[in-house]
Structure 1
Amino acid sequence: MEVIESRIDPGSETFRRNREANLRLVAELKERLRHAAEDRSERARRRHAEQKKLPVRERIERILDPGTPFLELSPLAAYGMYDGRVHGAGIVSGIGIVHGREFLVSGNDAMVKGGSVFPMTLQKSLREQEIVMENHLPSIILVDSGGAYLPLQDEIFVLGGRVFYNQALISKMGLPQICAVMGQCTAGGAYIPAMSTYTVIVKGTGGIFLGGPPLVRAATGEVVTSDELGGADVHCSISGVADYYAEDEIHALETVRTLAGTIAPVEKTRIRTREPKPPRYDPEELYGIVPEDIR
């Protein structure tokens, strides 16, 4: 192949301005990603810790094979929307390796609006499901959600129905869906574990119900606890919604890893490849090539 000779002058003033402008953009992107991953209120962190819950990113890390990459999807979803407080649309998701096999791993971030579902949360979930179906991936879902954000319910219910429809399609395709109930999951958050292939629920903190104890009391006058209404004992010994009883979060995540290990790997298409050669020019020069004004 003929080599295309570069006519770029790295010493020119235009190159320098372009480079400085693009490095600023890269720094801004990294800061936005850091902010989306880490900016949580002290109150939310404290409540999470009091319930003996792990942050969603630590949950995912404990499931993945140590030292393997995690390709995060849509980390800036909902950026600048909903007063700028619904980071990542309230969920963390991506493709990771468990027992040497690729999985789509997703988890609600309960430190973001209690894991409530916003319209962009559903858009992100639908994109995840599309990737699952296109690439025939098994999935792991860590549910810790209070259900739909009701002030925006008119924008949620149609999209929410598509999420559950897709769950049924994924099941029909024979792609396993492993769900772990890590917190109180009401309304839409309750449907996902009920429709999954395998469901693990955490004793004490995990709960599955359409309406929580306050709604039951308001509607019927009956006073019940979360555990009595839809805790691990109820769903593992009476309703049958959950399959595996976990003593705590660590036990639940270990159970998820064990279940993931029972899923047979898929034979991959073999593609002939060649060892790549190092680039002829310094990749850092790209910062000086892209114009400062991209219009």
Structure 2
Amino acid sequence: MTLLASALDTTAPDYAANREAMLGKLAALAAEHAKALAGGGEKYVERHRGRGKLLARERIELLLDPDTPFLELSPLAGWGSEYTVGASLVTGIGVVEGVECLITANDPTVRGGASNPWTLKKALRANEIAFANRLPCISLVESGGADLPSQKEIFIPGGALFRDLTRLSAAGIPTLAVVFGNSTAGGAYVPGMSDHVIMVKERSKVFLAGPPLVRMATGEESDDESLGGAEMHARVSGLADHFAVDEHDALRQARRIVARLGHRKAYPDPAPHEVAPPAYDADELLGIVPGDLKSPFDPREVIARIVDGSDFDEFKPLYGTSLATGWARLHGYPVGILANARGVLFSAESQKAAQFVQLANQRDIPLLFLHNTTGYMVGSGYEQGGIIKHGAMMINAVSNSRVPHLSVLMGASYGAGHYGMCGRAYDPRFLFAWPSAKSAVMGPQQLAGVLSIVARQSAAAKGQSYDEEADAGLRAVVEQQIESESLPVFLSGRLYDDAVIDPRDTRTVLGLCLSAIHTAPFEGVRGGFGVFRM
């Protein structure tokens, strides 16, 4: 039998404590998400509504097929910065006329939808996801262009947005722009470089320079409508392919365009009878991860609550037991899973992982990495045993694997273990974190301790006495800094993940991602790995 047997005791005090801690983190996360949902605040939301306009998320909702999910990406972009949480842009994956699409929508309640450095990073990440998974792109445009005070951080890299639109089109991935308001200066190239363009009567304004700048540059007197209005672009310039009488009509026309694309997935979706729910309740995921990440937990308890039928064929279960590897299905899609079982990765785990990644590539099966690792084991015995070359073997395999990768940070994700488990730098198709996750070079106490040891050695080498009181103060400051920089909201704000998610939503989120992944063809590498040091 390959059905996972759960040993989770939901009546135990530890479970209750873990659950309570997770619920507290989820409440704090909800408060941060609320900031993104609030946009520019009540004043600017009401002003926008007073103009008879829909909000960004309302536009998305009307665009999507009824009763279908929207997987929002990077909702915390810009968190901890001087800019509004969410970075004045909504991005995500949703279904339009049965077609999975990558959707972006400017939020005009935040500084008129102007783009700041985090808006740019968020938009570029969305384009990256669209390209990798061959998802048609729909841009719901209403933006005054770059946030001018931050132009030095936007102008040079910002050209990649327009480059991406042309490359998506060249790759046969449809691009569609629906212009609801301003699309000025560099933003004019979004409709200018999209395959299909819809503009709204008396609302859309698309021009390289507005009337004031035209007057300053050329002396010409002009108005918005004659310079860049929807009717002018529909009748005269030809930039508008479709002319809509209002926002609802524009969204209706966008849906019709998508319906006519003939865009098909590379692989068929699993039939309903191929999908079985887990044997255990997803709600129980709240009590699995300890509040103190130094305490281990069995990732099989997580696997049992996210994979189809809780059915998991484990690979090498008696070897390298700090890493669980095996095969399963998730919403009907086959996956290979690598999950940290006791935090530390030893030589055996590293070699086991390398072999497992090769097998997944031989069989063209996507890989799911479930993180809870403090990194590769250190110490003279482990160094002599070859931990460097074995860890490098695992990282080599992950780096050169060509099947799609998904990563979920459940607990710790420290050091090179983060790399070996396919962290952000290793281009997973999607990477999500639980509110319980932490990621850094090493744990706060360890990092502060290392700095203390180095300082002590330096003082001793100079023949100086060591200030223990100053050392204690330094350690406290460093620990606090590293702790705050390890938290998922901090990392998500910098787009080091695609979202921080409720553990109970993990199966749904991964299912949506797997469905998107199967829109594009993929094939595992056949022998094309780097040199494995033996």
TM over 0.5: yes
User: Which structure 1 residue ranges, 5 or more long, are not aligned?
Assistant: none
The aligned amino acid for 1:292 is: G
Q: What displacement does 1:158 show?
A: 2.5
- What secondary structure does 2:164 align onto? helix
Task: Give the distance between the partners of 1:26 and 1:99, measured in 2 at CA.
Answer: 33
Determine the structure 2 residue equivalent to 1:167: 165
Determine the structure 1 residue equivalent to 2:37: 37
CA contact (8 A) 1:119 1:159 kept: no
CA contact (8 A) 2:184 2:207 kept: yes
Task: Give the distance between the partners of 1:2 and 1:240, measured in 2 at CA.
Answer: 61
Determine the structure 1 residue equivalent to 2:69: 69
Q: What displacement does 1:195 show?
A: 0.5
User: After the TM superposition, which residues 203-214 of structure 1 pair with which residues of structure 2 at under 5 Å, given as runs?
Assistant: 203-214=201-212
Task: Give the distance between the partners of 1:239 and 1:5, measured in 2 at CA.
Answer: 66
Equivalent of 1:215, from 210, 213, 216?
213
The aligned amino acid for 1:243 is: D
The aligned amino acid for 2:201 is: K
- What secondary structure does 1:110 align onto? coil
Q: Structure 1 segments of 4 or more deviating over 6 A?
A: none
Question: How has the CA–CA distance of structure 1 residues 155 and 5 changed in structure 2, closer, same or farther, with 3 Å as cutoff?
Answer: same
Determine the structure 2 residue equivalent to 1:176: 174
Question: How has the CA–CA distance of structure 1 residues 2 and 255 changed in structure 2, closer, same or farther, with 3 Å as cutoff?
Answer: closer
Q: TM-score, normalised by structure 1?
A: 0.90
Superposed CA deviations along residues 149-173 of structure 1, whole A, max 9, x for unmatched, are 1111111122211111111111101
Q: What displacement does 1:11 show?
A: 4.2
- What secondary structure does 2:231 align onto? helix
Equivalent of 1:244, from 239, 242, 256?
242
Task: Give the distance between the partners of 1:56 and 1:230, measured in 2 at CA.
Answer: 22
Task: Give the distance between the partners of 1:206 and 1:50, measured in 2 at CA.
Answer: 17
Determine the structure 2 residue equivalent to 1:224: 222
Question: How has the CA–CA distance of structure 1 residues 101 and 285 changed in structure 2, closer, same or farther, with 3 Å as cutoff?
Answer: closer
Determine the structure 2 residue equivalent to 1:136: 134
Equivalent of 1:116, from 96, 106, 114?
114
State the identity as a percent.
45
1:47 has 2:47 as partner: yes
Q: What displacement does 1:109 show?
A: 0.6
CA contact (8 A) 1:10 1:285 kept: yes
1 or 2, which has the higher strand percentage? 2
Question: Greater shift after overlay, 149-158 or 26-35?
Answer: 26-35
Superposed CA deviations along residues 94-143 of structure 1, whole A, max 9, x for unmatched, are 11111111111111010111100111111111111111111111111111
Equivalent of 2:144, from 132, 142, 146?
146
Superposed CA deviations along residues 13-43 of structure 1, whole A, max 9, x for unmatched, are 4333222111100122222223311353233
CA contact (8 A) 1:143 1:183 kept: yes
Determine the structure 2 residue equivalent to 1:14: 14
Task: Give the distance between the partners of 2:139 and 2:30, measured in 1 at CA.
Answer: 27
Q: What displacement does 1:76 show?
A: 1.3
Q: What displacement does 1:47 show?
A: 2.6
CA contact (8 A) 1:56 1:107 kept: yes
- What secondary structure does 1:182 align onto? strand
1:290 has 2:289 as partner: yes
- What secondary structure does 1:31 align onto? helix
Question: How has the CA–CA distance of structure 1 residues 166 and 7 changed in structure 2, closer, same or farther, with 3 Å as cutoff?
Answer: same
The aligned amino acid for 1:34 is: A
Q: What displacement does 1:9 show?
A: 4.6
CA contact (8 A) 2:200 2:244 kept: yes
Determine the structure 1 residue equivalent to 2:370: none
How many residues are matched? Answer: 292
Q: What displacement does 1:223 show?
A: 3.1
Superposed CA deviations along residues 193-222 of structure 1, whole A, max 9, x for unmatched, are 000111111111101111212222333343
Question: How has the CA–CA distance of structure 1 residues 198 and 75 changed in structure 2, closer, same or farther, with 3 Å as cutoff?
Answer: same
Task: Give the distance between the partners of 2:268 and 2:260, measured in 1 at CA.
Answer: 24
User: Which structure 2 residue ranges, 5 or more long, are not aligned?
Assistant: 295-534
- What secondary structure does 2:237 align onto? coil
- What secondary structure does 1:170 align onto? helix
- What secondary structure does 1:238 align onto? helix
Task: Give the distance between the partners of 1:210 and 1:6, measured in 2 at CA.
Answer: 61
The aligned amino acid for 2:204 is: G
Superposed CA deviations along residues 207-265 of structure 1, whole A, max 9, x for unmatched, are 11112122223333433221121111221122221111112212211111111111113
CA contact (8 A) 1:114 1:145 kept: yes
Q: TM-score, normalised by structure 2?
A: 0.52
CA contact (8 A) 1:182 1:206 kept: yes
Task: Give the distance between the partners of 2:193 and 2:39, measured in 1 at CA.
Answer: 32
CA contact (8 A) 1:146 1:189 kept: yes
CA contact (8 A) 1:179 1:196 kept: yes
The aligned amino acid for 1:171 is: S
Question: How has the CA–CA distance of structure 1 residues 58 and 218 changed in structure 2, closer, same or farther, with 3 Å as cutoff?
Answer: same
Question: How has the CA–CA distance of structure 1 residues 235 and 20 changed in structure 2, closer, same or farther, with 3 Å as cutoff?
Answer: same
The aligned amino acid for 1:25 is: K
- What secondary structure does 2:188 align onto? helix
The aligned amino acid for 2:149 is: P
The aligned amino acid for 1:235 is: H
Question: How has the CA–CA distance of structure 1 residues 231 and 25 changed in structure 2, closer, same or farther, with 3 Å as cutoff?
Answer: same
1:100 has 2:98 as partner: yes
CA contact (8 A) 2:39 2:88 kept: no
1:89 has 2:87 as partner: yes
Determine the structure 1 residue equivalent to 2:191: 193
CA contact (8 A) 1:187 1:209 kept: yes
Question: Greater shift after overlay, 67-76 or 31-40?
Answer: 31-40
Question: How has the CA–CA distance of structure 1 residues 40 and 7 changed in structure 2, closer, same or farther, with 3 Å as cutoff?
Answer: same
Question: How has the CA–CA distance of structure 1 residues 255 and 292 changed in structure 2, closer, same or farther, with 3 Å as cutoff?
Answer: same
Task: Give the distance between the partners of 1:45 and 1:8, measured in 2 at CA.
Answer: 46
Task: Give the distance between the partners of 1:268 and 1:174, measured in 2 at CA.
Answer: 13
